[in-house]
Structure 1
């Protein structure tokens, strides 16, 4: 009998990983990195050798690191089979995994300098650029909607999840000793209100559904209200004589924010003189979105073109890409009138930490949080009202105003998740994954008690029969 084991993202929103075992094959669904502090780093370093040597194939729903960031580690530990993803996801993985390897190498370089001085053993990165090269060579891109056999008894179809470019709902049909069993994994379901992305596809048939629950306990604020609040924050920052910092996820969120800033600019509601995209990876992904505009929501792009008379990449004339470190450092001399968009989205690394160091202590500045902040991340600490933070060796007082704008989320909210779950015919069993306990439990309870859906909460390393 086919079975599924939960190897990650149970009670948390990072580190997605699930093992499907059939009578003839072993399939790994997702291979995400864990994010959020020292414990996460320790978890990412654990050996994947047993999985690597026993798994026949890997399926990836989309390119975010919490779903695909440990693929090079799996390959480094011995995996040599195919990695199935959409064609756009493959293009994103090339950008994201190379960036992750680069950041790791720099972090390890600094760490080892300290270790050498302290006479402690040196450490190696979780993976290197060579591991990324080997990983990309194993990737097998597939279009949406075309079934394909990925092992001798598992058929895969990708459907548009509407989350980021290339994101997919994973639809698996397993031949279980002559009996067909149907497993659907939501991946990360998109927010139908988001610009640029299509509405998530609605599968109708499944025996078992793995469903993300990131926002299982709340709905997002309506987008129109969120945009109005953003416009007011920008106006207030202009009156205060400060800067606006936006820690943004390089994939999806950054492009959505640029779209809305472009619309505000052409409505005459963007008082700032300069918008900096200070994220080498964010720049690469923005350029990829522009190249792949055929895969985006044409209605939104048409509205932007009508407002600006320009294509996506030229719709915000005050936008400046800062690729080089020297250009990034120069931004810190600007005391007012700038919007600075920089990674990482949870402030766990990247250039945003430098900008926070130079801007957090000034009360005229504003920080706009536009995405989910995992427990243990600096972004979560700011949202929770911390008064002082340590940044790049210095303790910095938090005097800037912190704003949280949930309406920009690329994830479906509670009501949208419930609606998607209710779209299935028959009575599939739902398992809540990829959500912190409060959100996961709330969604499971709501599905059970108000909609009669068999919704369950799996434990880490729990195995279920299909």
Structure 2
């Protein structure tokens, strides 16, 4: 079998593992690449996936970094089946429509700007029509009910304990050279997580493709995290300001609601403090969660049986419309605002940050992973100023980073899950993680389990033969195109030399024009200073 890593290779987003065996071609996951502009360009490289040649996709869960390119595949020729669990199917109906709406709106915004400059119009990554076609291809499969997409492949979905309906996937493959099992962890959940069952246990695999998002550290204690959330609420409540919580619409929003439910029971959520869920997708996702109580863990089922509802609060308000969302920031007084996106790079959360990030009494509470290049990551890393909607906003609010809410297994939890595997000489691929964190985790695995660990690169092709060494091919120019810094810096210096030679012409301009040009140069100087400070 050959596998090509089309995403989540030394990065966290864009999960897609394309496989070929015999005359068959299929993939586990098809996620959107998220991060800086260079990473997001990968979403346009549809030709690398060869959509019309893919027979089917096996989707581990509904998060966009694992599913968000499916409509792009359909747009460019994919017509096969998309397998997923029933909750994932329902969540994808919400998330892919929402993603398509965002793609259309962003394309419209870009084109208005390009039209003013006489530039050629651009197309959205995909449209709502593409999303609707994609949804018609979804086929639900239950946990622990193996099926065969073709005779030489048996597939089994097992509970990954990450979000509602999330799965890791067992593939039993028969080839002329022998039979082997490959396991894809998807996003591996944590034990004792609110709402969700613990990850299932598996004991045998020849090849394990394991996520490594938090490969270099453990999470904070869950109880302590709820205490920190209470501290953020108390801080801003006392100052009559708002608590802004950027949260992914699926799972994280519901876990925060559950935590606030527990705080309310403990008397740590002020009775007159409204809690807004300000994300149409999160509101719809919460209804999906309510639809599938059989997927809850035993503790949550017990609360429901006793008449409680961990997804409800006394002062909970849902704000599906734009007008209701805007009214939140027009209303004086403290409030908790849970909004998307979780990394602050899109959606309504940007408006709430614009209104509150500069207020010393406000709080911004990060409860999930912040990808490199995202506004959320820059705030967490200590940025003093953030650009939102073209405006520079000072970061004066108190920033809380609460790692205990993560739905990803931490380092120790991943190692504990690995302890159950008993297959000798199992080969481990670390995916879905930043390279530094992967190297840390890989060294621990090699030392503790004496297993071979491989960290694949973007677009790498690996051939897997039972009992044989891995054969890998990496095109460095494709994975990491060289950046000619000497040329770029020389080009910048050349522009400055040209400008220096035109100082007299600058001085001959009228005073108002000179002030405009001065301000533009000051902005350039500020950008260069910021760039230099990051090196």
Shorter chain as denominator, the TM-score bin is over 0.9
Identify unmatched segments of 5+ residues in structure 1.
Answer: none
1:100-131: CA deviation from partner (whole Å, max 9, x where unpaired): 00111111111110000011111111111111
Out of 348, 360, 363, the position equivalent to 2:345 is: 348
| TM-score, length basis structure 1 | 0.97
- 8 Å contact kept, 2:20–2:26: yes
Out of 297, 322, 333, the position equivalent to 1:325 is: 322
Query: 4+ residue runs of structure 1 moved beyond 6 angstroms?
Result: none
Distance 1:45 1:457 in 2: 24
Using CA pairs under 8 Å that are at least 6 residues apart, name the structure with larger relative contact order, 1 or 2. Answer: 1
* Aligned equivalent of 1:384: 381
* Aligned equivalent of 1:284: 284
* Residues 337 and 76 of structure 1: CA distance in aligned 2, closer, same or farther (over 3 Å): same
* Aligned equivalent of 1:260: 259
* Aligned equivalent of 2:296: 296
Q: What secondary structure sits across from 2:276 in the alignment? A: strand
| Mapping for residues 419-434 of structure 1, pairs under 5 Å | 419-427=416-424, 428-434=426-432
Distance 1:207 1:16 in 2: 21
* Aligned equivalent of 1:226: 225
* Aligned equivalent of 1:32: 31
- 8 Å contact kept, 1:24–1:152: no
* Aligned equivalent of 1:180: 179
Q: Name the Cα RMSD after superposition.
A: 1.4
- 8 Å contact kept, 1:215–1:411: yes
1:324-367: CA deviation from partner (whole Å, max 9, x where unpaired): 00000000113431000000000010000000000001000000
1:364-400: CA deviation from partner (whole Å, max 9, x where unpaired): 0000000000000010001001111111122111100
1:75-105: CA deviation from partner (whole Å, max 9, x where unpaired): 1000111111111111111000000001111
* 1:51 Cα offset (Å): 1.7
- 8 Å contact kept, 1:24–1:153: no
Q: What secondary structure sits across from 2:129 in the alignment? A: helix
1:273 equivalenced with 2:273 (yes/no): yes
Out of 413, 422, 437, the position equivalent to 1:439 is: 437
Distance 1:172 1:101 in 2: 31
| TM-score, length basis structure 2 | 0.84
* 1:259 Cα offset (Å): 0.5
Distance 1:40 1:100 in 2: 18
Q: What secondary structure sits across from 2:155 in the alignment? A: strand
Larger Cα-atom Rg: 2
- 8 Å contact kept, 2:204–2:423: yes
Which sits farther off after the overlay, 357-366 or 328-337?
Answer: 328-337
Q: What secondary structure sits across from 1:218 in the alignment? A: coil
* 1:422 Cα offset (Å): 1.8
Which sits farther off after the overlay, 49-58 or 137-146?
Answer: 49-58
Out of 410, 413, 424, the position equivalent to 2:410 is: 413
* Aligned equivalent of 1:400: 397
* Aligned equivalent of 2:166: 167
* 1:301 Cα offset (Å): 4.2
Q: What secondary structure sits across from 1:244 in the alignment? A: strand
Which sits farther off after the overlay, 287-296 or 249-258?
Answer: 287-296
* Residues 50 and 209 of structure 1: CA distance in aligned 2, closer, same or farther (over 3 Å): closer
Q: What secondary structure sits across from 1:7 in the alignment? A: strand
1:224-246: CA deviation from partner (whole Å, max 9, x where unpaired): 11111111221122122211000
* 1:49 Cα offset (Å): 7.1
| Mapping for residues 187-226 of structure 1, pairs under 5 Å | 187-226=186-225
Out of 354, 357, 360, the position equivalent to 2:357 is: 360
- 8 Å contact kept, 1:56–1:151: no
Out of 447, 456, 461, the position equivalent to 1:458 is: 456
Distance 1:5 1:392 in 2: 37
* Aligned equivalent of 1:140: 139
* 1:40 Cα offset (Å): 3.1
* 1:297 Cα offset (Å): 1.3
Distance 2:153 2:47 in 1: 23
Identify unmatched segments of 5+ residues in structure 2.
Answer: 465-535
1:425-449: CA deviation from partner (whole Å, max 9, x where unpaired): 1221100000001111111111002
Distance 1:156 1:353 in 2: 41
Distance 1:326 1:191 in 2: 37
* Aligned equivalent of 2:476: none
- 8 Å contact kept, 1:244–1:366: yes
Distance 1:53 1:153 in 2: 21
* 1:178 Cα offset (Å): 6.4
Out of 446, 449, 452, the position equivalent to 1:448 is: 446
1:336 equivalenced with 2:315 (yes/no): no
* Residues 155 and 14 of structure 1: CA distance in aligned 2, closer, same or farther (over 3 Å): same
* Aligned equivalent of 2:57: 58
- 8 Å contact kept, 1:243–1:335: no
Q: Number of matched residues? A: 462
1:114 equivalenced with 2:113 (yes/no): yes
- 8 Å contact kept, 2:235–2:361: no
Distance 2:182 2:49 in 1: 24
